[in-house]
Amino acid sequence: MKKITIDPITRLEGHGKITIFLNDDGSVANTYLQIPELRGFEKFSEGRPAEDMPQITQRICGVCPEAHHMAATKALDELFHVEPTSTAKKLRELLYSAFFVTDHTTHFYILAAPDFVMGPDAPPAERNILGVIAKVGLELGGAVINTRKQNHWIIQTVGGRPIHPCFGLPGGVSRAINEEERAKIEEIAKQSVEFGKLSLKVFDDVVLKNKAYLDMVLSDTFTQKSYNMGLVDKNNKVNFYDGKVRVVGPDGKEFCKYAPREYLEHIAERVEPWTYLKFPYLKKVGWKGFVDGKDSGVYRATPLSRLNAADGMATPLAQEEYERMYSTLGGKPANFTLATHWARLVELLYAAERLLELSRDPEITSPDIRNIPTATPDEGVGIVEAPRGTLTHHYITDEKGVIKKCNLIVGTTNNHAPLFMSIKKAAEDLIKPGVKITEGLLNRIEMAWRPYDPCMSCATHALPGQLPLEVTIYDAQGNEVKKLSQGIS
Amino acid sequence: MAKLKIALYWGASCGGCEIATLAIHEKILKLAEVADIVFWPVGMDFKYSDVENMADNSVDVCLFNGAIRNEENEHMAKLLRAKSKIMIAYGSCAYEGCIPGLSNFYNRQMTFERAYIETPSTENPGKIFPQTKVKVPEGELELPELYDTVKTLAQTVDVDYFVPGCPPEEKTTWLALEALITGKLPPKGTVISHSIKAVCDECPRKKEEKKIKKFYRPYEIIPEPEKCLLEQGLLCYGIATRGGCGALCPQANMPCTGCYGPVEGVIDQGAHFLSALSSIIDSNDPEEIQRIIDDIPDPAGTFYRYSLPDSLLRRARIK
Amino acid sequence: MDNFEPKIVAFCCNWCSYAGADLAGTSRMQYSPNIRIIRVMCSGRVNPLFVLKALSIGADGVLVLGCHPGDCHYIEGNYKTLRRIPLLKKMLKQLGVEEERVRLEWVSASEGAKFAEVTNSFTQDIKNLGPSSSGHLKQSSKEVKHG
């Protein structure tokens, strides 16, 4: 069988490759997404002091270290049976909100926007952030850079370091903020809210008012009817830092809602021999293969899933946008993969509004940031929303707080099966017998996985903005018949 | 003057060094004036075959981050070494192994068993492990082999310079890039940082006398804001860690964990810290000494947090 | 292994244990030929790095011999050793090196018999443990330069 290999795929954290097998008539027989690496955190955490876990596990990802740091810190709270102080919780959520602003900004403008601003079939050399800035203006480009820079300042001030923070402890955080810092954070938050509103307007002008794009968003090729997972607060509103995990079916009905410590009753992971990454699925539905629908245990954990799984947003401007999005998409749940980009911007606005709320909280500069644990540690689970999905950390320790067992289900891992399915569907729908395989077509296959923002978003200033793809078609004897490439000079 | 050709690549890494490279913010424009990026999987459209087609020594400098953990990492390290005039081990993973290096306490079999069989959420009744070659109905798929032992870049290829840190702070990164841009490079083998001394030299906390009767875990005490953290009984690694980072962690009230690697001239960072730490234990009574040592729950993991693959013993021996 | 002859490195301090070894020799006491003695001025000179280096180049066991507590020629040196060796052993255990492969003993200048007894019994203990698997470097290998 003819084989097309895309190796490596790029603009995601870590390594990956796609293999497309073609039937003799040129249609797609099957498509495989392989993740070729494993570092082994679940094993080498054994023997480490539990309080080191926020700093050890955050080296799973250098783009979203704050997510691991936070999930680990929350697992420690439970492990040591200690409640963080009220100010500590707020400081944690404040840092977390700033983090979401930077991360979602990076993904939307550098990775996603080029496809829509320049168009999927635009020449690869223009389909990048520089093209975007040229088209929409330097002012917007400057706002993107400035928003990221300022929010990274917040992360360093509250968390200790700009990359790989060090402030999480069971029962609190290591450092309080003073009034001068608080005032600057409030200013940055106000600017970030404006930036959030602006970004949604950009999406409106560029995508929603363009019929071809709107059709693409609503098309069957980019639709997947899977379960949706996200963290919700006690009012069932989206919350990134704390709450219960809620799963809503493709039909919109709540399927389950669980506290972190109950996660094992609901999630199982499957192993395939051709990839190092596992495939989580809903235990109570069961694994039925790489298919969607109510009877398949495959679920998605993305910004869109979070909005689908919740009843609304907890801040007013984001709530308005939430309502507008669903009325445009025809109601809840929205199963359109490309709409994830829109959901991401609604979340960006929410994160900025939440940052502003917390920066104005009277308790936020209090020096009361630590409760000292006194109980013997045993077991703890911490769950937060990473920008690209629900993140679960589970630790068991001995009585001295040294890790005996560690289990991690990481944001993008949740989406491993859905990623596979989205790529496969796009390949099957777009590569048909007789259809010419062009760069634009290859890019449209990429557009199927890009909304998931697979963990590595890259804050470069000089991205050409598209997947380097080299398609080599071999005949049955293994001789090269044709070679196509995009983005390769 | 011809632009510098720069390649950037990642082995077993977290991506933090990629972000760190970009944390130079506006200075990247200065870099773009004098350099062209010819390979950067995280953000550019060049493929492995493009590197293979490059002439040897046609790349001026390769910034390699990440440790060497599998077949693919090793292959790319060797390939890029052949194509590049200068090879820089950028970041702690490439320099000393860093966090992925902790896997050297175990081996591949143990790691696989944990990940694919023992973890409580895994359902794998067939006890399937990932394989380097797998037959599927349509044909064959390949995966790179995962090694038992994590290695540093210098244990794999000849390295010209080292940039320490997990990740390197902005000023350390710029120090290296500026040297490349101006051509004012230090002697081969240099670890590029603003400091050859320990972090203590940069740390604003007051240092008096170090005599420890008890070591504390960070969650057990709220440290005084001005006083040396080690003197308060926290395992602050600053005394055995190279400076250049600005002592950020102690200023956030957390002990240094050693991410900038050993001080100038030290070949085993863990042994160095062990020696210094035990010297300041305030007791001459064997039983009391033992009690004080019992407060350190994980000596090997704490002292070799970032440097296990680069240590003298390299890895734990497993029976 | 019946014919396993351990390689043992013994760091002996100049003023006490090295003199004690001399005494064992001049008194014609039989002691293990497996011992390679390295004389240091004080047991406090023994950096844990030396022990690790010995193990990494193939030593099966390491002895550190010093003056009795209170008798150190440099007053405090052996107290530092007393603090370092237990922590080193705890760390080595985590690295798969049995704690019994490293031993700290006090041997004075007049204790020739003790020197012989310690070295003989340690050699036997190492024989029982078997060869160490930590050796991986050539003795003369240059460490990877870090500047």
Contacts of A14 (CB under 8 A, 6+ apart): A35, A37, A454, A455, A456, B15
Q: Is C1 part of the contact surface with chain B (CB cutoff 8 Å)?
A: no
Q: Which of A455, A212, A450, A424 is nearest to A337 (CA)?
A: A450
User: What is the chain A residue with the closest CA to B12?
Assistant: A39
Q: Which of A160, A61, A144, A57 is nearest to A106 (CA)?
A: A144
The residue extents of the domains of chain A are 2-37+430-486, 83-223+337-369
Q: Report residue A473's pLDDT band, with 50, 70 and 90 as the boundaries.
A: low
The stretch A124-149 carries a mean pLDDT of: 77
pLDDT greater than 50 at residue C65: yes
CA distance to partner chain A, nearest, from residue B12 (Å): 7
The stretch A80-86 carries a mean pLDDT of: 98
Q: Report residue A140's pLDDT band, with 50, 70 and 90 as the boundaries.
A: confident
What values do phi and psi take at A416, rounded to 5?
-60, -50
CA distance to partner chain B, nearest, from residue C120 (Å): 25
DSSP string, A175-230: ----HHHHHHHHHHHHHHHHHHHHHHHHHIIIIIT-HHHHHHHHSSTTB---EEEE
Q: Is C133 part of the contact surface with chain B (CB cutoff 8 Å)?
A: yes
pLDDT greater than 90 at residue C78: yes
The pair of three-digit structure tokens given for residue A142, joined into one six-digit string: 């400057």
The residue extents of the domains of chain B are 4-99+153-182, 113-146, 195-319
The stretch B58-78 carries a mean pLDDT of: 95
Q: Tell me the pLDDT tens digit for each residue of B216-258.
A: 999 999 999 999 999 999 999 999 999 999 999 999 999 999 9
What values do phi and psi take at A238, rounded to 5?
-60, 130
Instruction: State the DSSP code for A110.
Output: I
pLDDT at residue A456 in the model: 36
Strand partners, A483: A472
Q: Report residue A485's pLDDT band, with 50, 70 and 90 as the boundaries.
A: low
pLDDT at residue B38 in the model: 85
User: What is the chain A residue with the closest CA to B223?
Assistant: A174
Q: Report residue A482's pLDDT band, with 50, 70 and 90 as the boundaries.
A: low
**pTM attached to this predicted model:** 0.92
Count CB-CB contacts under 10 A for residue A441: 19
The residue extents of the domains of chain C are 8-129
Between B15, B106, B297, which is nearest A44 by CB?
Answer: B106
Task: Tell me the H-state helices in C1-65.
Answer: 17-26, 48-56
Max intra-chain CA distance, chain B: 71
Q: Which residue has better confidence, B212 or A17?
A: B212
Q: Tell me the pLDDT tens digit for each residue of B274-314.
A: 999 999 999 999 999 999 999 999 999 999 999 999 999 99
User: What is the chain C residue with the closest CA to B192?
Assistant: C147
Q: Are A75 and A395 in contact (CB under 8 A)?
A: yes
Strand partners, B134: B141
Interface test with C, best of B151, B313, B314 (most C CBs within 10 A): B313
Inter-chain residue contact A272 with B128, CB threshold 8 Å: yes
Q: Are B236 and B250 in contact (CB under 8 A)?
A: yes
Q: Which residue has better confidence, A60 or A441?
A: A60
Owner of token pair 């035990």:
B278
Inter-chain residue contact A62 with B257, CB threshold 8 Å: no
Interface test with B, best of A153, A155, A166 (most B CBs within 10 A): A166
Q: Which conformational region is residue A175 in: left (phi greater than 0), alpha (psi within -120 to 50 degrees), or beta? A: beta
Between B124, B221, B252, which is nearest A271 by CB?
Answer: B124
pLDDT greater than 70 at residue C86: yes
User: What is the chain A residue with the closest CA to B42?
Assistant: A11
Q: Which of A5, A127, A445 is nearest to B48 (CA)?
A: A5
DSSP string, B50-110: HHHTSPTT-EEEEEEESBEEEHHHHHHHHHHHHHEEEEEEESHHHHH-TGGGGGGGS-HHH
pLDDT at residue A114 in the model: 78
Interface test with A, best of B3, B5, B9, B14 (most A CBs within 10 A): B14
pLDDT greater than 50 at residue B184: yes
pLDDT greater than 90 at residue C47: yes
Write out chain B residues lying below 8 Å of A45, CB-based.
102
Name the percent of chain C in helix, strand, coil, to the closest 5: 40, 15, 45
Strongest mean pLDDT among A28-32, A34-38, A379-383: A379-383
Rounded Cα–Cα distance for residues C132 and A101 (Å)? 54
Q: Which of B88, B100, B112, B65 is nearest to B304 (CA)?
A: B100
Rounded Cα–Cα distance for residues A273 and A271 (Å)? 7
Strand partners, A295: none
What values do phi and psi take at A365, rounded to 5?
-100, 10
Q: Are B76 and B32 in contact (CB under 8 A)?
A: no
Write out chain C residues lying below 8 Å of B272, CB-based.
49
Between B99, B106, B134, which is nearest A274 by CB?
Answer: B134
Inter-chain residue contact A468 with B45, CB threshold 8 Å: yes
Rounded Cα–Cα distance for residues B144 and B96 (Å)? 22
The stretch A131-149 carries a mean pLDDT of: 81
Q: Is C138 part of the contact surface with chain B (CB cutoff 8 Å)?
A: no
Interface test with C, best of B274, B282, B285 (most C CBs within 10 A): B274
Rounded Cα–Cα distance for residues C101 and C124 (Å)? 11
Q: Which of A34, A36, A101, A32 is nearest to A66 (CA)?
A: A101
Q: Report residue A460's pLDDT band, with 50, 70 and 90 as the boundaries.
A: very low
The stretch A45-68 carries a mean pLDDT of: 94
Between B189, B284, B319, which is nearest C147 by CB?
Answer: B189
The stretch A463-480 carries a mean pLDDT of: 45
Residues 123-182 of B with CB under 8 A from A: 123-124, 128-131, 134, 136-139, 141, 143-144, 146, 166-167, 170
Inter-chain residue contact B120 with A407, CB threshold 8 Å: yes
Strand partners, A229: A247
Inter-chain residue contact B220 with A372, CB threshold 8 Å: yes
CA atoms B264, B267, B271, B275: torsion sign: negative
Write out chain B residues lying below 8 Å of A466, CB-based.
45
The stretch B12-19 carries a mean pLDDT of: 88
Q: Tell me the pLDDT tens digit for each residue of B100-138.
A: 999 999 999 999 999 899 989 999 999 999 999 999 999
Rounded Cα–Cα distance for residues A300 and C94 (Å)? 41
Instruction: State the DSSP code for A150.
Output: H
Rounded Cα–Cα distance for residues B14 and A480 (Å)? 36
Q: Are B99 and A59 in contact (CB under 8 A)?
A: yes
Contacts of B241 (CB under 8 A, 6+ apart): B198, B199, B256, B258, B259, B260, B261, B262, B263, B269
Between B189, B267, B300, which is nearest C91 by CB?
Answer: B300
Instruction: State the DSSP code for A411.
Output: H
Inter-chain residue contact A61 with B222, CB threshold 8 Å: no
Write out chain A residues lying below 8 Å of B251, CB-based.
160
Between C83, C97, C136, which is nearest B278 by CB?
Answer: C83
pLDDT at residue A125 in the model: 60
Q: Report residue B215's pLDDT band, with 50, 70 and 90 as the boundaries.
A: very high
pLDDT greater than 60 at residue A472: no
Rounded Cα–Cα distance for residues B15 and A488 (Å)? 23
Between C56, C83, C146, which is nearest B191 by CB?
Answer: C146
Between C53, C86, C97, which is nearest B317 by CB?
Answer: C97
Neighbours of chain B (3+ CB pairs under 8 A): A, C
Inter-chain residue contact B14 with A269, CB threshold 8 Å: no
CA distance to partner chain A, nearest, from residue B15 (Å): 5
Interface test with A, best of B24, B51, B141, B171 (most A CBs within 10 A): B141
Contacts of A430 (CB under 8 A, 6+ apart): A221, A441, A444, A445
pLDDT greater than 70 at residue A466: no
Q: Which fold has domain A83-223+337-369?
A: Cytochrome-c3 Hydrogenase; chain B (1.10.645)
Q: Tell me the pLDDT tens digit for each residue of A404-424.
A: 999 999 988 899 999 999 989
pLDDT greater than 50 at residue A378: yes
CA atoms A108, A112, A114, A115: torsion sign: negative
CA distance to partner chain B, nearest, from residue C147 (Å): 4
User: What is the chain B residue with the closest CA to A398?
Assistant: B297
The pair of three-digit structure tokens given for residue A124, joined into one six-digit string: 């690869």
Q: Are C36 and C58 in contact (CB under 8 A)?
A: no
The stretch B26-45 carries a mean pLDDT of: 75
pLDDT at residue A26 in the model: 85
pLDDT greater than 80 at residue C42: yes
pLDDT greater than 60 at residue A426: yes
If you count residue pairs, one on B and one on C, with CB atoms under 8 Å apart, how many are there? Answer: 101
pLDDT at residue B154 in the model: 97
Rounded Cα–Cα distance for residues A447 and A212 (Å)? 15
CA distance to partner chain B, nearest, from residue A266 (Å): 9
Q: Whole-number mean pLDDT of chain A?
A: 88
B86: helix, coil or strand?
strand
The number of residues in chain A equals 489
Rounded Cα–Cα distance for residues A481 and A488 (Å)? 19
Strand partners, C66: C106
Strongest mean pLDDT among A5-9, A363-367, A449-453, A482-486: A363-367
Write out chain A residues lying below 8 Å of B111, CB-based.
38, 40, 43-44
**The domain B4-99+153-182 belongs to what CATH superfamily?**
NADH:ubiquinone oxidoreductase-like, 20kDa subunit (3.40.50.700)
Q: Are B272 and B240 in contact (CB under 8 A)?
A: yes
Q: Is B34 part of the contact surface with chain A (CB cutoff 8 Å)?
A: no
Strand partners, A31: A20
Rounded Cα–Cα distance for residues B105 and B99 (Å)? 11
Instruction: State the DSSP code for B2.
Output: P
Inter-chain residue contact B296 with C48, CB threshold 8 Å: no
Q: Are B79 and B2 in contact (CB under 8 A)?
A: no
Q: Is C33 part of the contact surface with chain B (CB cutoff 8 Å)?
A: no
Q: Give kind and range of the element (H or E) at residue A381.
A: strand A379-386
Write out chain A residues lying below 8 Å of B14, CB-based.
13, 59-62, 65
Inter-chain residue contact B16 with A62, CB threshold 8 Å: yes
Inter-chain residue contact B301 with A43, CB threshold 8 Å: no
Write out chain B residues lying below 8 Å of C83, CB-based.
278-279, 281, 283, 289
For C8-129, which CATH class? alpha beta
Q: Tell me the pLDDT tens digit for each residue of A311-364.
A: 999 999 999 999 999 999 999 999 999 999 999 999 999 999 999 999 999 999
Rounded Cα–Cα distance for residues B149 and B92 (Å)? 17
Write out chain B residues lying below 8 Å of C96, CB-based.
316-319
pLDDT greater than 50 at residue B213: yes
